Structure 1
Amino acid sequence: MFKKPLADAKTIASLRGSDRRKLKQRVVADFGLQLEEGELLVPEGLQSQKISTHLNEPGVVYLSQEGDPLWFSLGKGTDGALIPTVYTLWKKPDLLPFLSTPAAVVPKLTGGADLMIPGVVQHSVPLAVDQLAAVTQYHRDRRGPPLAVGRMAVTSDTLREADEKDRKGKAVYVLHTWKDCLWSMGVSSKMDVPEPREVPRPETEEGPIVQQEGVDAEGDDLVDETAKLQLEDTPQSTGGQQDIAAEQTLESAEPAAAVLSPEDVSSCLRSALLQALQTTLSSLPPSTFPITASTLWSNHVLPARPVQPLGAGVPVDIGVMDIKQSTHKTVKVFLKACAKEGLIKLKETKGDVVITAVYPAHPAVAGHRSHKTVQSVEEKRGKAEERQRKEQEAEEKRRSELRIAELWKPHGPTVGWFVAAEKDTSHLYSVADIKEVFNAYVVVKGLVNAQVQQYINVGQDDALAQAVHVKGEEQAEFMKREDALRQIREHMQVWHEIRTEGGEPVTRKGAARPISVVVKIRQGRKACTLITGFETYGLAADDLAQELRKACASSTAVEPLPGKTTDVEVMVQGKQIKAVTDLLVSKGVPARWIKSEDLSASKKK
């Protein structure tokens, strides 16, 4: 919600004493607090500021006298739910029920992702859909401070019943996180994260705590279970955020660290070289050699390191699989050992070594069993992050896009039919609404043709007959259902509605017309692009001309349309259809409502 800077922020104003008391009473009532706790969370000197998120959703932020955001609400008016910020949750960590997640998932949450079900380790019960909840970092035997607040996407029963095969989907829709743009508004944004506190016993005032199935009370099985869930390449593991939480958890969850001896690390690195000899090194042409030791190491050996070495069953922090942690201590000594084994051929030059040949046909390479590599995990994570980014961009585009609906109002001969159907004649109806009214009417009146079900006996009902009658033609006895619906719409008055995310819908009489973007030849041989019909979509001519001047790096002008008293056109020098279309789409105008045409070629002919 606040992963990007606010679209608009009004002047900060001090809250009146009466308003502060009302807010405090509301906090005490909504969150079941004592009066003294209300004083702590709604302090003296409180200030308010009206804001708009980057998605243009209006809201109000309540700030402390020092300037730290303590509460916020979203939506128009003052009836939106009060939501505590992370600043407030650090003052009273048990204000909301909680869910804990591994350390590796936290950066994804602060980056704008929602919390997925696979990332939940522990949670309070009961939890209901749409209930406010805090998200903490998982610590064994301790409770981390709240780092995010959001609304539940599922119930605690759903979380508790989920097993490895169906643990997918979102657990929490995150609204605000530590380090997001709302947090950064505060003067205390540089403050350190509080230390984890002792975990209360399962039955406390905070309610019982549930460890996800497959994880014991001490948390020792957390990594094993999470690793199995996230390493298995199942068809269900396709969600971007789910994959990210999975792969990240493998590398960073605290209990996952496995202890490797120097001999184990040497074995891992040798296994990585064997894997590289089977794959990347075997495909290199002879002209590639000689290659430097650093190239072999960084491009082939390091990416081929195993994720789960030595059949340990748990992932290992790749930081421990370093040459300095092995028995060899240096890359040069390691390569010499591999050359002695006959896997590669070396040549010393000026105290360093270069690889002059590799031997993929060596028996040790042939007998090597392929493993999942660090590179494959990183590539999978990268693809998951890219999917997530594209999904978020598509969602933001969808939410910011104007929604245009065609509507119809009862008019002329259709008014009597709507009265007969006991419907409001001043209401605006969509296609689906008209169809629903029509279907209910013909059923109640028994107008469906007995022989052919798709025909309606319109002649048996005077009101319907008038609504579908075409002037100048004979009165129809029966019509196809689709034809009757079309005739009713044609006799109604056409309207349209344009709605933006978080804004009030704008309803106008007449059919919605697309924006016209036309290239014409003017003043001899000069081509120019003319844009008309944009007023319907809430765009101002002067603002549009100014933005097009920058986007097209060309001169623009606003001129009245010939024969029109109110409508204007924006003119841009040159053939600028693509640039104009891209700008209109970025403004939220759906591409299907932009009609472009190049008339310059026909003019030249």
Structure 2
Amino acid sequence: MFAKAFRVKSNTAIKGSDRRKLRADVTTAFPTLGRDQVPALVPGKEELNVVKLYAHRGDAVTVYVCGGNPILFELEKNLYPTVYTLWSYPDLLPTFTTWPLVLEKLVGGADLMLPGLVVPPAGLPQVQKGDLCAIALVGNRAPVAIGVAAMSTAEMLTSSLKGRGFSMLHTYRDHLCFSRRSGDKSSPPSLAPLALDPPDLNEEKGSVQADPALQGDVRCLTLEGEDKANGEGRQQMCGEKSLSEASEDPSVRGLNPDPTDSRSLKEQMDELLQRCFLHALKCQVKKADLPLLTSTLLGSHMFSCCPEGRQLDVKKSSYKKLSKFLQQMQQEQIIQVEELSRGVESIVAVDWKHPRKGSVLEGAEVRTIIINYAKKNDLVDADNKNLVKLDPILCDCILEKNEQHTVLKLPWDSLLTRCLERLQPAYQVTFPGQEPVMKKGKICPIDITLAQRASNKKVTVVRNLEAYGLDPYAVAAVLQQRCQASTAVSPAPGAKDGLQVQIQGNQVRHLSRLLLGASQQQASSRCALLPSLSENKKALRSAGGRPTSSRSTGHGLARASEHKGLQVG
């Protein structure tokens, strides 16, 4: 509901009579609260504001804010607690558990699907369809989301934990928590999970015994809910961690900085803040999103770019405030920030061509990283060393949707091949006496085509010279002298900003010698722009003098090497 920015209609202090009525409503809505807990939740003397707003879908919502944090919200005369309230009263609602990786999908607006649940040994809490429930992460009892059960617990178990489980209303890190108008943007407290004892076979108090078919150390979890806020397709994850293994996961134990890093906490947080900022601009923010609220950039983009096991907290950085950090980024001419309305800052422009940090991984490096990851996390099958067990991270990265529940292990060669196929290709071009140039995508070879024009005249067309640092106009001038034929430069069909050189007659042989450096001395004396390629072992395929659509392909005026790797923003 609060995945996107909302519009505030009014913000007023609550009256004494309304405060008493709110206490009565809280007592009715949450009977498990004790008499001393209700006055603590709705204090008598502290400032309490009533904020009326419209969600991005037009729903009219009333939010009660105490001490700067939203504590309750009312929708269609139903009262709901926020995550801030549940952190103080974690047992206020029946709580279900999911994996930490699922949270970012919920923040984006997706509903929680039943395969995403973690079934504890004590079984699932007993709820009915339409009951209000809390969602917590493995290893921490502090709720991070609130939703309405789409079916009863008995129906969940009968369906073998398939289908939509909860319609989400509010999540940690949504706009209700991280907007400029509400929320102190604090992190969830670390609350130890309750003891997970198996239920008594003769008693069922507040929980339902899980179906033995659903228990075990290997579970698949899927988040198939359609992203309501962004209109994206289904998102899935599959894993095979037991509850005890997951609770020992470093990403679950605590969202702390790297203890092996000798830098101070502020220095680590500054680096993490800049990393998430650049990654958000590179991978999530589009030109069509501008102007973009700075609060939206932080809540909807930067938090989701935070690496697993780390927690982005602007207050722990040297900037203390997001506005100061963005001012620094504006001074570096990466973005332009303006106050489009009073007190509301927005990013109105981004220099997409600004040089940013990045690195490239070669295939051998990728293989080393995957092998080390599998060994570090004990994913190598104990019975067959040639097989690797797939944890939620690997499952989410390499499996197709129809494999999420069926593929639990993969051979080493298949795992490495799939990982390499998912990576973005890049190539590096090295010019003599210059720094190498790295570009994303696959390098396009120089294309030489022998075509036929009017009156049965032959012409030779050369394309893709720019990828190798060659000026088509300079090349055309050299070829005009070398071939003693007329040349012309024109836009290349189907290539944005690309040019092609057209030479009269069949000049494939001359081009082959010139581009491959067979006549190095003569070519260099005529044009220093064309370096020798005597080291290049790949030769051009001769066009054979055929009149139409014959091609010969060159593989570099400069030394070009392809990399299949990740470009890090």
Same fold (TM over 0.5): no
Q: Pick the TM interval, shorter chain.
A: 0.3 to 0.5
Structure with the bigger RCO (C-alpha within 8 Å, sep 6+) is 2
TM-score, reference length from structure 2: 0.42
**Structure exhibiting the larger radius of gyration computed from Cα positions:** 1
Q: What TM-score does the superposition give when structure 1 sets the normalisation length?
A: 0.39
